[in-house]
Amino acid sequence: MSVSYKDLGLANTEEMFRRAFAGRYAVPAYNFNNMEQLQAIVTACVETRSPVILQVSSGARKYADQTLLRYMAEGAVCMAREMEKAKGAATPIPICLHLDHGDTFELAKSCIDNGFSSVMIDGSHLPYEENVALTRRVVDFARPLGVSVEGELGVLAGIEDEVQAAQSTYTRPDEVVDFVRRTTVDSLAISIGTSHGAYKFKPEQCTRDARGVLVPPPLRFDILAEIEKKLPGFPIVLHGASSVIQEAVAEINRYGGKMKDAVGVPEEQLRQAARSAVCKINIDTDGRMVMTATIRKVFTESPGEFDPRKYLGPARKALVEMYKRKNRDVLGSAGRYGEELTA
């Protein structure tokens, strides 16, 4: 039996993106795999009064179980509303549940039938005409139900969950108008130099600063600017946009990890993108790394610890602070639905 996202209290991305474009900020799209990550995302976004897109990959959906995931999303909305009521917030933040990198019509349909309010159909690995056909098929199913659809042109390199590509292919601005016109998607993910995973750039692509840390090349803002000209007012999405926080990298390595030369997209470049037509920025790896760094620290300092609450709790707290900072300083989404709340 199918369920509508509206019955779960979720929102699609239409109004979110309209406000983001007008306000020159990006809506955070945070991936989650477990309860602690979800709690942290909701807490951070309620407290900073930021809209939020809860992202689930195909792999995360399998990990969590699709039925349980539906109730987790409904619970996330209830949690947000209870927090807002307790703190006297006048305006509820919108919460979207989004499929990240869906690769088949069947997967997108299953997610929609189970309460997702937005889906991405990623046909970027297909020949252009096949990408158009697959994307349009998903749109035709989703649109009557009010579910938003994100398409993709261009290929991001790297590995994240079940998504992997050896090389990136920049989005071709001369294709975007035709693709959007024929598919009627609600937003478009593009490739301008971001990539998936914790190793977004090879050392030979970078320089090194005085500390020996890799400094990646700039994003292709010229491609973004050309796409903006061709699609004025249309919502653009950036995937693979974790900054791979160097403090988290250092902490992981300090407590037994091995993440040499892990590097991501500089946050100042993400802020620049958020002031343009980019209305949604995907962040997954940063959440994984902050959580992993905190858990490694607890295990090293307290090797006898076996209560999950004693290491997942601190990890959740660290995630809350990271997401709040991203909303305020990187995406510009904080304070968009009333004043930030204090504890």
φ, ψ at 220 (rounded to 5°): -85, 75
pLDDT for the residue 165: 45
Confidence of residue 166 (pLDDT cuts 50, 70, 90): very low
Question: Residues 171, 13, 96, 40: is their CA dihedral positive or negative?
Answer: positive
pLDDT over 80 at 281, yes or no: yes
Q: Are 341 and 87 in contact (CB under 8 A)?
A: yes
Q: What's the mean pLDDT in 225-246?
A: 92
Q: Is the pLDDT of residue 162 over 70?
A: no
Is residue 161 predicted with pLDDT exceeding 60? no
Q: What average pLDDT does the structure give for the chain?
A: 92
What is the reported pLDDT for 157?
54
For residue 9, what pLDDT is reported? Answer: 98
Predicted local confidence at residue 156, as pLDDT: 66
Q: Does the active-site annotation cover 100?
A: yes
7, 100, 140, 284: the active-site residue? 100
Q: What separation, in Å, do the N-terminal and C-terminal C-alpha atoms of the chain show?
A: 40
- How many other β-carbons are positioned within 10 Å of the β-carbon of residue 87? 12
Residue ranges of domains in the chain, CATH in brackets: 5-239+265-283 (3.20.20.70)
State how far the alpha carbon of 47 is from the alpha carbons of 157, 228, 314, 319, 328, in Å.
Answer: 34, 32, 18, 13, 11
Confidence at residue 204, expressed as pLDDT on a 0 to 100 scale: 76
Phi/psi at 294 (nearest 5 deg)? -65, -45
Q: Can you give the pLDDT at residue 285?
A: 93
**CA-to-CA dists, residue 236 to 185, 194, 261, angstroms:** 11, 14, 29
**What pLDDT is recorded for position 267?**
92
Helix (H, G, I), strand (E, B) or coil at 31: strand
Q: Give the pLDDT of residue 200.
A: 59
Banded model confidence at residue 168, pLDDT cuts 50, 70, 90: low
Residue-wise pLDDT for 25-80, tens only, equals 999 999 999 999 999 999 999 999 999 999 999 999 999 999 999 999 999 999 99
